[in-house]
Amino acid sequence: MTHTEVAEPHTAGLLDEITVAAASGRAIPDAATGETIGHAPVHTVDDLNAAIDAARAAQPAWAALSHAERSRILHRAADEIEAHAEELAQIIAREQGKPLNGPGARFEAGGCAAWVRQAADTVLEPEVLFEAEGTRSELHYAPLGVVGAIGPWNWPALIAIWQIAPSLRMGNTVVTKPSEYTPLSVLAVAALLNRHLPPGVLTVVSGGRDVGEALAAHPGLDKIMFTGSTATGRRIVESSAHNLARLTLELGGNDAGIVLPGTDVPAIAQNLFWGIFINTGQTCAALKRLYVHDSLYDDVVQALAELAETTPMGPGTDEGSALGPLSTRQQFDVVSRLVEEARAAGARVVTGGKPAPELGAHFYRPTVVADITDGVGLVDEEQFGPVIPVIRYSDLEDAVARANASAQGLGASVWSADVDEALAVAARLEAGTVWINQHGTLNPQVPFGGVKGSGYGMEFGREGLKAVSAPKVITR
């Protein structure tokens, strides 16, 4: 499962730009080796206040530019990201741990440019609401002002862009706070953007929890965008209440998949595997629990186990790796605990189920768990790691009910050779997105968001632009 060919890091230029001296910064480790990559600045609440003041001062001039001019600037910024995509990918691979290849760090770096371009090119024209002789009402979209963005550690640069690009496109300025675990990736992509943006339009505040809490409650913000846990999302709702900042919350997901009888297992196996194990399972919209009909149960378990055993795992900078480490010790401990609890409850660990210490401290082998059911933590909680519980069902009504029993509803999927049957099941699943014979695939033109405990508000496409705008009706 290991490879030894390691890519030479090409990050010195960009790292030199974003890092600070050891005496004044915080050491950021390589997720696979623990070696220090560089030192991130340690910003304070005072720095946050100054950034928001600068963003508020810069916002009127930025908003005064035409949509076409802001789009031209964003296209130049996307060109900059593409020109330095390898440097950015190397930073992501080392800091976050995802492999360079496949749906990994190079994919993330390329996605940053793609999402900036899509935000720049998306048209949001005024909508005619009512028209009659002598009167006309139109719905326009104006900038909100200053957007505060708080990002996660699992797709740090890409999710930061999901928040930043549409906000800038609509004439807002942005102050963004990255995860303490992955600040370098966000500092890097922001540095590339800022080579083309006016001063104050985009600022990264690289601080601790106190800075995040102050941002969520700051009276100088008009919008808060957050991607992370449901528990933190609830605290942000409470903190933002006093100034009624608009919110977009993309929170956790315990995504369910349902495999219907008659499905061609070999035909879906690869899509199914990567819907589960993309980014070593550390994706909000990854498949977290899989319900499989009796008639296919053994075949699906075997297919997933074979792929888990043959998919190479190793450091992110290893060109042969397809799966990387868990990004943090905390997440490693969560995954280990949930697997051990499942084992103690009588579940069968088909493959994996243990760390891979020979690869590094935070590596956990891709794991398939069978003969498990609801009520066990591995099924009921979001594991956020390279583990899939496979649950047997015989009655479709029961499977749908169990899939919907979660307090979360980010994504779900239905797997079937009969698309019409799959669509009928998809319509009954309580999730913001339901995929057919795929899971977790995203498109910058297609809105994305959750229901229930997975948050509210939409990102991407026209709906994403509307979410960072103030609707204004003009009647004449």
Note whether 446 and 461 are within 8 A (CB): yes
Q: Which of 86, 284, 382, 459 is catalytic?
A: 284
Note whether 351 and 361 are within 8 A (CB): no
* 3-state class (DSSP) for residue 99: coil
DSSP output for 246-259: EEEEE----EEEEE
- Locate 183 and state its tokens: 């600040």
Pairing of strands 135-143, 469-475: antiparallel
Contacts of residue 176, defined as CB under 8 A and 6 or more positions apart, other chains included, come to 148, 149, 150, 151, 160, 163, 164, 186, 190, 202, 203, 204, 205
300: region left, alpha or beta (phi > 0 left; psi from -120 to 50 alpha): alpha
Query: What is d(CA 466, CA 124) in angstroms, rounded to the nearest whole number?
Result: 8
Pairing of strands 135-143, 127-132: antiparallel
Query: What is d(CA 434, CA 287) in angstroms, rounded to the nearest whole number?
Result: 11
Q: Which of 82, 95, 108, 250 is catalytic?
A: 250
Cα–chain-centroid distance for residue 40?
Answer: 22
250 in catalytic set = yes
Torsion 155-116-183-226 (CA) sign: negative
Q: Name the residue type at position 80.
A: E
Contacts of residue 215, defined as CB under 8 A and 6 or more positions apart, other chains included, come to 48, 148, 150, 175, 177, 205, 221, 224
Query: What is d(CA 111, CA 158) in angstroms, rounded to the nearest whole number?
Result: 6
- Locate 206 and state its tokens: 């690289």
Cα–chain-centroid distance for residue 409?
Answer: 15
- Locate 462 and state its tokens: 């026209």
**According to DSSP H, which parts of 31-104 are helical?**
45-64, 67-83, 85-95
Query: What is d(CA 147, CA 195) in angstroms, rounded to the nearest whole number?
Result: 20
* 3-state class (DSSP) for residue 90: helix
Q: Name the residue type at position 271.
A: N
Query: What is d(CA 146, CA 154) in angstroms, rounded to the nearest whole number?
Result: 25
Helix (H) / strand (E) element for 36: namely strand 36-41
Query: What is d(CA 182, CA 447) in angstroms, rounded to the nearest whole number?
Result: 26
What torsion do the CA atoms of 214, 217, 219, 225 make, to the nearest 10 degrees?
Answer: 100
Catalytic residue numbers read 250, 284
